[in-house]
Structure 1
Amino acid sequence: MTNSLAISPQERAYLAQEDLESFWYSRLQKKDPVARIGYAIWVKDVDDLKHAITTGDPVYWNQRGFAYWELMARSTVVNLAVGLQKGGFRGTVGETRQQIKRVGLRVADWHAQYVHNDYQDQIGQVPGLLSLKQMADYHHRAFQEFNIPPSYYGGTWFGSIPETIQFETYGHLYCHDCDSSEGYQGVRP
């Protein structure tokens, strides 16, 4: 992991430019765990994703190859599309893609805010490295803005099962290297 997981001025510029591919690629270079899926969703050329995985640290990629991470990205996009419909969004395929991008931008904005808060509040063991709970909370916040039910976030599919059990059971599938949630007080107002 690099020295700092802080959101850089360049990453803030990428967000302002709505350049999700560059934002998540930059986070990927810092070995930010959620960047694996973020980059896989927003990369424009799958060969770039293949290259990032095959030349990257196998431990960071959880010893899983391109097919695994591409499947994770595709299933995330499908979940978002279905979640938008469940929340009342009706649009063409093109309009749905645009709405998914708007959701993606809000997720990235919330991610940046939570990384900032992680440093400020000294949460967990590694500054800027988020826990499964922090990631679930900011995804839920972004989803709420689009009326997407929280269960459409892949980390908390089963609303009737407590999140802690879900995280313990299958959190390693997408974040084997997340931080602890020690000191995390939950969603800020």
Structure 2
Amino acid sequence: MDLSITAQERSYLANQDLDKFWYSRQQKKDPIARIGYALWCKSADDLKRAINTGDQAYWDRKGFAYWETMARTTVVNLSVGLQKAGFNGTFGEMREEIKKIGLAVANAHAEYVKNDIRNNYGRQPGLLSMAQIADYHHEAFAEFYMTPDIYGGTFLSRVPDEWEFKLYGDLYCHDCDSSEGYLREQVN
């Protein structure tokens, strides 16, 4: 399957339409799109429908309750991260800031997919590894003065990321690519 970022997906990003961007990505079976779509879909019914009509292997045979919990946990982590970084807005302002983070993450995802294809990392062009996903989350979070441990894939700051990926990476990315050939410094 072609995992490259399409012109339509770039348009979704330009229009700040995270729902359509992540829906398009999950239709291609982009692993991280499961959580992206769970976070930004317009309704719980949309997420249920995507899971119930989708490839169950892609959804790791985990239903709506699992993926909704992953999304809710992500929102809590982002809220805590923003507060730790000094953000003291209202509930509405917090939601707007989280959307800005969501846009930064989605744009970074698109850039990493492009770089993955260009540099031929891993086994499948455009399929990212847990290390790549963690790196772009860390970069996006840094724009908001948030620490890397806010990203759920690397929340144990004293444990090497590679160990965390092995310990519980399958909770969110059972089908990520390998990190073969990937060197963080080649991304930018």
What is the TM-score of this pair, normalised by structure 1? 0.98
Between 1:113-122 and 1:178-187, the stretch displaced more is 178-187
Following TM superposition, by how much is the alpha carbon of 1:136 offset from its aligned partner in structure 2, in angstroms? 0.1
Q: Report the count of equivalent residues.
A: 187
Question: Any runs of at least 4 consecutive aligned residues in structure 1 with deviations exceeding 6 A, and if so which?
Answer: none
In the alignment, the residues of structure 1 paired with residue 83 and residue 145 of structure 2 have an alpha-carbon distance, to the nearest angstrom, of: 9
Partner of 1:156: 154
Residue 108 (structure 2) pairs with residue 107 (structure 1): no
Partner of 2:123: 125
In the alignment, the residues of structure 2 paired with residue 45 and residue 162 of structure 1 have an alpha-carbon distance, to the nearest angstrom, of: 36
Aligned residues: CA RMSD: 0.6
Following TM superposition, by how much is the alpha carbon of 1:44 offset from its aligned partner in structure 2, in angstroms? 1.2
Match among 44, 49, 61 for residue 59 of structure 2: 61
Letter in 1 for 2:13: L
Structure 1 unaligned regions, length at least 5: none
Residue 40 (structure 2) pairs with residue 42 (structure 1): yes
Letter in 1 for 2:132: Q
In the alignment, the residues of structure 2 paired with residue 176 and residue 159 of structure 1 have an alpha-carbon distance, to the nearest angstrom, of: 22
In the alignment, the residues of structure 2 paired with residue 34 and residue 50 of structure 1 have an alpha-carbon distance, to the nearest angstrom, of: 17
* Percent identity of equivalent pairs: 61
Residues 71-130 of structure 1: CA distance to partner in whole angstroms, max 9, x if unpaired?
Answer: 000000010011000011110000000000000000000000000000000000000000
Match among 13, 17, 42 for residue 15 of structure 1: 13
In the alignment, the residues of structure 1 paired with residue 146 and residue 18 of structure 2 have an alpha-carbon distance, to the nearest angstrom, of: 20
What is the TM-score of this pair, normalised by structure 2? 0.98
In the alignment, the residues of structure 1 paired with residue 43 and residue 95 of structure 2 have an alpha-carbon distance, to the nearest angstrom, of: 17
Partner of 2:169: 171
Residues 14-39 of structure 1: CA distance to partner in whole angstroms, max 9, x if unpaired?
Answer: 00000000000000100000000000
Letter in 1 for 2:138: H
